[in-house]
Amino acid sequence: MASRMRRPNTNVYRSRLVYGAHSSSTNQPTTSRSSGVRRTVNKSVFERISGRLSVSKRQKSTAATARASGWTRITVRNGKDLSGSEIIAALEDFLKSPVHPFCISNLDNSDVTFYVRKSEEGSAILSASRRATTSSGRKLIIETQSASPPCIELVDSDKEVLKQVLDSLFCAGTHHLNLGCFSQNTVIRNHREYMPVNRNSVMLAIAILLSEQGGVIHSIDLSNNRLRHLDYLANLVSFTRNVIALDLNENQVDSVDELRKLSGWKLSQLNVKQNPFYKDFKSESEYHRAMLSVFPQLTLLDGVPVVKEETVNFGLDVPTVSAAQINWPPALGSFLVNDELKDLLIRFFMEYYSCFDSTETSQREKLLHAYTKTSLFSLTADVSYSTKDW
């Protein structure tokens, strides 16, 4: 009698997957029969599929949490050559209302990001995309996305304690906020949760609490708080714009670049010498020049009056000399054809040197477009005029 070959099952993966609870091998196929249909599934395949479903659920849960938080992440495309203050100023000028940014940062792909706490503010900022213009005439390209807070937020009970402490440390008469040795405050020490200001969540909560009434603060003491990175402290700049005096002594700031994050404050008084970065300077005058490059309006540095030297170095890496030591040639009258040309040249030089003399590197970089790669100096002259017209 001729043997009959068994027909292969073509419905192995067509039906609903069934996983055998008593399978002894990790990759052993499991079979079952139901309604006359044979169903087979490999255990590892089942785990991969179920894992994808779990990830999808987690992603949906995270997105829902982000929407519920109200936080919005703002991305300014190709905004790396713009300072944070330029971007915020352009947005405020367009929206005709204050913008409350948190955690402004530059990404590796040349984008700039920051967060806003209210979804309504995020929607308003999105409406400014390709419409808000910086002072240099550049339009901002903006994208927004619902996001979780930039760091873990304090619980409501901790925020309430923090609010009480801030109220007690603010002196309305002098407009001074004393956050020095903050962790040693009696209320903070007795609270069940340790809340030093060098913790991101605490500094973020302080910024949020000051976002409503920060304009009344004129000076802040943040000494002796073990501060090293000032990213979250920089959030205060947008909400306490009238601060002119700052004490950062007895902290752990190890780079001048950290101080640049606070350059939005127009400080006239600064105490910062007692930090590790001070050892990087070879002389006191070098230290003073570095601080003036960050805060050009300083009049009192570490309790010592600031003497601003008038120097000329033409952007060269050579020792600077006093303007009084230079034997300048006598000034001559202008030689211009007409007043129209004169006005054009004056506007050009005013705009050129406002960029060249700026303390911000991003401003001077804008002048690169005015040069070719090989030229040291460019001069254009119209020789159609007769010399008798000069």
Domain coordinates in residue numbering, the chain: 69-146, 156-305
- Give the Å distances, CA to CA, from 113 to 107, 116, 142, 306, 384: 7, 10, 10, 35, 52
**Which distant-in-sequence residues (6+ apart) come within 8 Å of 159 by Cβ?**
205, 209
Amino acid symbol at 321: V
- pLDDT 10s digits, 354-373: 877 777 767 777 777 766 66
In this model, does residue 55 exceed pLDDT 80?
Answer: no
The torsion region of residue 213 among left (phi > 0), alpha (psi -120 to 50) and beta comes to: alpha
Q: Which pLDDT score, from 0 to 100, does residue 376 have?
A: 63
The CATH fold of domain 156-305: 3.80.10
Distance CA 363, CA 181 (A): 38
- pLDDT 10s digits, 128-174: 999 999 988 889 999 999 999 988 889 999 999 999 999 999 998 99
What is the rounded average pLDDT for all residues in the chain? Answer: 78
Instruction: Find the range with the poorest average confidence among 186-190, 281-285, 301-305, 372-376.
Output: 372-376
Q: Which pLDDT score, from 0 to 100, does residue 59 have?
A: 46
- pLDDT 10s digits, 197-210: 999 999 999 999 98
Backbone angles phi, psi at 296, to 5 degrees: -65, -15
Backbone angles phi, psi at 146, to 5 degrees: -60, 140
In this model, does residue 50 exceed pLDDT 80?
Answer: no
Q: Which pLDDT score, from 0 to 100, does residue 194 have?
A: 86
Contact 114, 101 (CB under 8 A): yes
Q: Which pLDDT score, from 0 to 100, does residue 373 have?
A: 65
Confidence at 13, pLDDT banded by 50, 70, 90:
very low
Instruction: Find the range with the poorest average confidence among 52-61, 252-261, 323-332, 368-377.
Output: 52-61
Share of the chain above pLDDT 70, in %: 70
- At residue 49, the 3 state secondary structure works out as helix
Q: Which pLDDT score, from 0 to 100, does residue 345 have?
A: 80
Contact 366, 136 (CB under 8 A): yes
Mean pLDDT confidence for 43-66: 52
Report how far apart the first and last C-alpha atoms of the chain are (Å, whole number). Answer: 121
Q: Which residue has the tokens 């590197």?
A: 361
Secondary-structure class of domain 69-146 per CATH: alpha beta
Task: List the one residue out of 104, 141, 138, 99 whose CA is nearest residue 122.
Answer: 99
In this model, does residue 389 exceed pLDDT 50?
Answer: no
> What predicted TM-score, i.e. pTM, was given to this entire model?
0.61
Q: Which pLDDT score, from 0 to 100, does residue 86 have?
A: 87
Beta strand spans in the chain (E): 30-34, 37-41, 72-76, 102-106, 112-116, 142-146, 170-171, 176-178, 219-221, 245-247, 269-271, 300-301, 304-305, 311-312, 321-322
Give the alpha-carbon dihedral of 94, 95, 96, 97, to 10 degrees. Answer: -140
DSSP 86-121: HHHHHHHHHHTS----EEEEE-TTS-EEEEES-HHH
In this model, does residue 181 exceed pLDDT 90?
Answer: yes
Confidence at 22, pLDDT banded by 50, 70, 90:
very low
Beta strand 311-312 with 304-305: parallel, antiparallel or unpaired?
unpaired
Q: How many CA atoms lie within 13 A of 352 on its CB side?
A: 10
Residue 127, Cα to own-chain centre: how many angstroms?
21
Q: Which pLDDT score, from 0 to 100, does residue 293 have?
A: 92
In which element (H, E) is residue 256 found? helix 256-260
Distance CA 180, CA 198 (A): 12
Q: Which residue has the tokens 């292969």?
A: 8
In this model, does residue 16 exceed pLDDT 70?
Answer: no
Give the alpha-carbon dihedral of 170, 237, 234, 273, to 10 degrees. Answer: -70
Instruction: Find the range with the poorest average confidence among 34-38, 126-130, 148-152, 278-282.
Output: 34-38
Mean pLDDT confidence for 57-73: 60
Q: Which pLDDT score, from 0 to 100, does residue 178 have?
A: 94
Query: In 10 A of CB 62, how many CB atoms?
Result: 12
pLDDT, greater one: 282 or 316: 282
- pLDDT 10s digits, 298-356: 999 999 898 776 555 555 555 555 656 667 777 666 667 777 888 888 888 788 878 77
Burial class (CB in 10 A: 0-12, 13-18, 19+), 125: buried
Q: Which residue has the tokens 């956050």?
A: 179
Instruction: Find the range with the poorest average confidence among 10-24, 59-73, 330-344.
Output: 10-24
Backbone angles phi, psi at 80, to 5 degrees: -65, -30
pLDDT, greater one: 301 or 374: 301
Q: Which pLDDT score, from 0 to 100, does residue 385 have?
A: 47
Distance CA 64, CA 162 (A): 28
Distance CA 274, CA 260 (A): 17
